[in-house]
Structure 1
Amino acid sequence: MGLIACKNEVEEQTVDIVDEIATPQLHLDQANNLAALPLHCIETEYPNKMGHVTAAPEDQKRPTDQHPVFYGCFDWHSAVHGYWSVVTLIKQFPKLEAREELLAKIKRNLTTENIAVEIAYLNTENNKTFERTYGWAWLLKLQQELDTWEDPQGQELAQILKPLSDIVIERYTDYLPKLNYAIRVGEHSNTAFDGICLGLCHTCW
Structure 2
Amino acid sequence: MNLFKYTCCFSFALVTSYEATNGPVTAQPLRHASAAANQSLQETWMLFAMAVIKNDVATIKLLSSSKVYCVDCMRNTAKEQAVWEVYENKNPDTWYDKMYGEFAYIDIDKFIKEDLPLVFNQRIKKRLLDKNKLVFTDQVLYGGQQNMGTVLVTIIDPSDKWEGAQAAFGFVKTKNGYRFCNYSTIP
Higher share in helix: 1
Higher share in strand: 2
Do they superpose with TM above 0.5? no
Mark the structure with the bigger radius of gyration: 1
TM-score, with length taken from structure 1: 0.22
TM-score, with length taken from structure 2: 0.23
Higher relative contact order (CA 8 A, sep 6+): 2
